[in-house]
Structure 1
């Protein structure tokens, strides 16, 4: 997990830094390609973080299970429903080496990526002077 997080963070930083530094010398088609790569990386990160957040937010699932017409079911299915509802009260989350996959992870990745890209842009701008 830390390897993939570091790799994704470096991908974000390189995309943002490349867009910021070389936007004036790119052709239109190359701008579209870089934009699509950055957009797909952001979409993948959003999907991973959204799926991790859905594991944490199980209250909607519990409410829909509580409204099920269990009184028409047989005894075995009622027991399975009660076990499933008991397990829904426990909030599960995807945590590897202290990193929780949720919305906060995405916000921190974007914040770090943009700040490092701006630092690289300022370094390039100060070296040209």
Structure 2
């Protein structure tokens, strides 16, 4: 149920979060000289809350991947050869289902640590491109 709920909202949060992250970086880079201290604090708090939300989403997705992998390794060490035939068949079906780690994937985007690193890299690069465009248009 949690995975289905996350997969439903993930594209919207990902798109809006990325756009918000890029716009915050571009705004900070372009207007850092003219901002008041209160505005700097507000923007800093927005950036911190956005980063914390992205870290939390990616951390939860990575934990899901890690837990399903740990269940597989724990089950593979169990003494199944002492069990009866019905339990062995159930165990083998269970192990077959756990050979692939469960993860939250929507449109080819997996919610894990790599997603957070790529979001930060894309946001900073786009913000610097916008800064350079604004800087070159002033000349």
Q: TM-score, normalised by structure 1?
A: 0.77
Q: Tell me if 1:97 matches 2:107.
A: yes
- After TM superposition, the structure 1 = structure 2 runs for residues 1-129 of structure 1, keeping only pairs within 5 Å, are 1-58=10-67, 59-60=69-70, 86=95, 90-129=100-139
Q: Which blocks of at least 5 consecutive residues in structure 1 are unaligned?
A: 67-81
Q: Which blocks of at least 5 consecutive residues in structure 2 are unaligned?
A: 1-9, 77-90
Give the C-alpha shift of residue 90 in structure 1: 4.6
Instruction: List 4+ stretches of structure 1 deviating above 3 A.
Output: 59-66, 85-90
Q: What count of residue pairs does the alignment treat as equivalent? A: 117
Distance 1:113 1:44 in 2: 15
CA distances 1:35-56 after superposition (whole Å, capped 9, x unpaired):
0100100000000000000011
CA distances 1:61-96 after superposition (whole Å, capped 9, x unpaired):
667899xxxxxxxxxxxxxxx7xx857665110001
Q: TM-score, normalised by structure 2?
A: 0.72
Distance 2:52 2:71 in 1: 25
